[in-house]
Amino acid sequence: MTKLFFILLSFLFCSSNLSAQHKFTVIKSDYAWKKQLSPEAFVVARQEGTERAYSGKYWDNHEKGIYKCVCCAAEVFSSSAKFESNTGWPSFWKPISKTALLEENDDKYNMDRTKVTCNTCGAHLGHVFSDGPKPTGLRYCINSVSLTFEKKL
């Protein structure tokens, strides 16, 4: 009964959820995601967790290549759009394409943010903020554990 009460409260007081309406092309059960992902990747990518700053393997990566979604391997960012934000998370000023990501309001924890998910599978990648460099002025602050990296020569 208590669980139902909290579900109803969430439904009544949360903003509309675009990802719940979006038709993802890669859909798996939580059981399948847990088998595929590390425990940390599952919490971050499938349950909207956040890794600790400076703990991920890509925040200080300077190699050229493509960053992909850890869940479905969709290309989401290029190293050519990566920049040093001094936040402890990999930061990008634009996604690899306009259709790579799904962005929606995230007002959890009394914060007004925009969360970023993979447009292919719905994996939580991080958040986007309007304090980035030119030309977009955007900072996509992304969890390393939500990504894989394919080095380009």
DSSP string, 50-106: -PPTT-SSSTT----EEEEETTT--EEEEGGGEE--SSSS-EESS-SSTTSEEEEEE
Give residue 4's pLDDT: 36
Residue 127 within any structural domain of the chain? yes
Residue 19 within any structural domain of the chain? no
Give residue 111's pLDDT: 76
**Residues 6 or more apart in contact with residue 95 via CB below 8 angstroms:** 76, 77, 81, 101, 140
Give residue 6's pLDDT: 35
CA distance 23 to 5: 28
Residue 140 within any structural domain of the chain? yes
Backbone dihedral angles phi then psi of residue 55, each to the nearest 5 degrees: -100, -15
Residue 136 within any structural domain of the chain? yes
Backbone dihedral angles phi then psi of residue 95, each to the nearest 5 degrees: -75, 170
Residue 33 within any structural domain of the chain? yes
pTM of the model: 0.85
Q: Count the domains in the chain.
A: 1
Closest CA to 33 of 151, 142, 118: 118
Residues of the chain scoring pLDDT < 50: 1-16
Residue 32 within any structural domain of the chain? yes
Give residue 17's pLDDT: 55
DSSP SS3 for 43? helix
Residue 116 within any structural domain of the chain? yes
Residue 58 within any structural domain of the chain? yes
Domain enclosing residue 101, as ranges: 25-151
DSSP SS3 for 118? strand
Give residue 18's pLDDT: 55
CATH number where 114 lies: 2.170.150.20
Known active-site residue 71: no
